[in-house]
Structure 1
Amino acid sequence: MSPLSPVPSFCPSWSPRTSPLTALAVAGVGPVALALARRVLEADDAALARWSGVAGPGVLVLLGDTESLPWVDGLVYLGRDTAAPSLLLPCTLAPDVAPALLERALVARASGSTPLAVLPGSAHLVPVGAARPVSRDTVRAWLAKQESP
């Protein structure tokens, strides 16, 4: 799992998507990220081997095939819209602007780092191009750092 670099926030409006995207990643922020890390630590080695991830202060993103992605209440499931292939967008939400225009603006804001996980609820953009295989030790260390005062 790789640390992430912060990207300035954004705030387009979002509405329900008519057809959900296929999930390629899950993301958690704050307490949801902590719950996701705990769920990852409960997973068997075969599941860990199917995921890659990035983490930063209060944010955790796991990438993997749809069937392997864990569930935690409050997670954002992310997929790829063919109109914005450099972005991982919420599976059930669509931006109020053309996805291609949103992609162009967000990639420019992130200095070209792609792909970007877009988390509208927390206004996070998470570069996931540096995602690394998930390691139990790395997740434990990240979780301990997040939980320390």
Structure 2
Amino acid sequence: MVGEGAVAVALARRVLAEDDARLAAWEGVAGPGVLVLLGASESLPWVDGAVYLGRDADAPSLLLPCAVAPGVAVSLLEHAFLARAEGGAPLAVLPASLHLVSVGAARSVSRTTLVAWLEEGQSGVPPGDTP
């Protein structure tokens, strides 16, 4: 799943409300204005506005939004995205911003790292602002 901007902040806060065992079951990557959380679909939290991602057998290197179908064959989309992607596969496709995020560097979710990301304003929302 992925959150951008204020949704990323809400996702981070929701994740921080979980216990350490749950955090250990997830992996994630974060950057300015974006937070991607990876894990078993049934374990992921509900966050209003978050985009849930899934894999298509015809494009295994992409994590695509579950609620949006591309207008072209996903294998062609995968080929085009991989040709211009930096950071390598797999890639999360973010429909709101039309960005690609490499999730190949995803690591276990760390409470300390997530708190620091929020405090540093990497979420794209000023620290202390409520989404």
Partner of 1:125: 100
Of residues 47, 56, 77 in structure 1, which corresponds to 2:22? 47
Structure 2 CA distance for aligned equivalents of residues 42 and 112 of structure 1: 30
Cα displacement (A) at 1:120: 1.0
1:56-135 equivalence runs, <5 A:
56-111=31-86, 113-135=88-110
Cα displacement (A) at 1:108: 0.8
Cα displacement (A) at 1:93: 1.1
TM-score, normalised by the number of residues in structure 1: 0.80
Cα displacement (A) at 1:111: 4.1
DSSP-derived class of the 1:96 partner:
coil
Structure 1 CA distance for aligned equivalents of residues 6 and 87 of structure 2: 29
CA-based RMSD of the aligned residues comes to 1.3
Stretches of 4+ moved more than 6 A in 1? none
Cα displacement (A) at 1:71: 1.0
Q: C-alpha deviations, 1:37-66, integer Å up to 9, x for none?
A: 000110111110110000000100000001
TM-score, normalised by the number of residues in structure 2: 0.91
Identity among equivalent pairs (%) = 69
1:63 is aligned with what amino acid? L
Structure 1 unaligned runs (5+)? 1-25
Cα displacement (A) at 1:148: 3.9
Structure 1 CA distance for aligned equivalents of residues 87 and 5 of structure 2: 26
Cα displacement (A) at 1:102: 0.3
Structure 2 unaligned runs (5+)? none
Partner of 1:143: 118
DSSP-derived class of the 2:2 partner:
strand
| Number of residues of Structure 1 aligned to a counterpart in Structure 2 | 124
1:39 is aligned with what amino acid? R
